[in-house]
A and B are shown apart, each in its own frame.
Chain A
């Protein structure tokens, strides 16, 4: 039986993640994408970073209002990483769980995380390497930073390459990494649906 996901099943903003599900982001800009989503989720944030990963979030560079809410878990070993993700997803007060699992998630593990996210009403983002995605994910995003010709613009190309309940798309946007405001440079440049959706 499909769980009742409420009215927010189809978000109006294409960059909103579907709540109470686990999503995936890959590519060089995946951490920026995760922080962009963190700005949009009010409430405590959990970032699960295995202890061998040298890249730490730098407090002064984080978007405004994220640093105070961020909790960093640094478990050792793949089992503990998965356990931490599941425990954090199952906790009701956490609004967004960002995790960097090392190995590709098995279908069982991915499905289990989805169930945990539904139970805890928490959204999750797995930051994965390229082509290491799990089939159980709700959406998968490929995030790449883009060079821009204008001096003060920081362009990102975020393409939705897998979506269980919706269409795919590519967005190029200008987000400077400090606030929730984005400037959409172009709408989806490739059409993935029939031109006339006449009823």
Chain B
């Protein structure tokens, strides 16, 4: 039913756009939970789960008891789900979407025969073509000869029919769980000394880094949770300037955070996890005697960026990257150094640029074009030489409030007093012509 039709029937209908990402996350959570019924659980489309329960039902007292248990638990959680148990994947899929139930062993054809052909996971065109020739139910298809059916409706239909009836094998392909990068340690006696916590952290880090190396990942953030005996928790989290799995270097970054922790009556549990990870191919790691000098240097620089970033924030450790704009403010980017690589700076011909750039500051007492003398920052300047103008037009595809005054004519002004300044004037601005200083040359 289209939304407009639904609104016509029920004007007060509340609608919300589908959030596919969160739905998928919820289904993944449900999949983990469904592991209590079967070792192999796979997602089935965007709205279903498929579990291979071979050899499991007797643990729950039979197939019907298992299904009742599943339904009851889902009901208690507030989920309306329909479920089916059948000998093949196709039959279970079909029955679960048309009422649910249990197909007894060896009665697949009878169990799903009354279902419409759309239950067979065939595409819309095939289903319509089948309906046109009067084949509405699965039971209608079963007695038909295979060869004409395949010739007329394609091999896909016959394959789906065989899969539903068990003539063609179709295993439950459970995708592997995403690796979980977390390790924990429970202590028989509470600890309180900083050196003890660091020793425990080193043991955990070794295990975590081994796990990261096994999956060829590197940590970008590492979190240490400490459980105190009075049930309180303390948490230390560090960021890394680049993906890393070297226990010694990560432990060094924790030293300051661990120092600030109040251990209370003692700590009896440690949990270390890497919430953010990135792929990190095996590489020569520096710090060893055999490691080359450049790798050691890069590692040491990354360590510096990590430790500074952890104290003042990673958004304050910056790198200059070139951009393709002609607007002075946007001709370079300030990017976080931890999340960007240095880029070669294209050498551009054209007029000179200042070494420092600042927000435009108006000058006063400017006379003439270019001004023969002006005052700026409470100082009097006399122009010795002026080069320009260089006209820069605003980028009309960005609405930049600073550039609303229209195009700008930039002048390089060498002053009698020494400073070489970058001035501009806005000829399109209404009112008096205003001069601004925006940069200073070497």
Which A residues are within 8 Å of any B CB, using their own CB? 28-29, 31-32, 35-36, 44, 51, 54-64, 67-76, 80, 83-84, 87-88, 91-94, 144-148, 151, 154, 156, 175-177
Contacts and interface: CB of A to CB of B under 8 A. Distances in A.
B414 A55 contact: no
Given A67-B320, A154-B441, A154-B442, A87 B355 contact: no
A74 B303 CA distance: 18
Contact of B331 (A55, A57, A60): A60
Contact of A44 (B301, B303, B322, B441): B301
Interface in B291-312: 297-298, 300-301, 303-305, 307-308, 311-312
B419 A57 contact: no
B318 A71 contact: yes
B89 interface: no
A94 B301 CA distance: 7
Contacts of A151: 385
Contacts of A75: 312, 316
B439 A71 contact: no
19 contacts: A31-B355, A32-B442, A44-B301, A55-B357, A55-B358, A58-B439, A59-B345, A60-B348, A61-B353, A61-B441, A68-B342, A71-B319, A73-B317, A73-B318, A91-B300, A91-B304, A154-B442, A176-B442, A177-B441
B36 interface: no
A130 B197 CA distance: 48
B441 A57 contact: no
B384 interface: yes
Contacts, number: 141
B420 interface: yes
B344 A58 contact: no
Contacts of B441: 61, 154, 177
Given A144-B418, A176-B442, A68 B345 contact: yes
A5 to B, nearest CB: 22
B328 interface: yes
B54 to A, nearest CB: 59
A88 B308 contact: yes
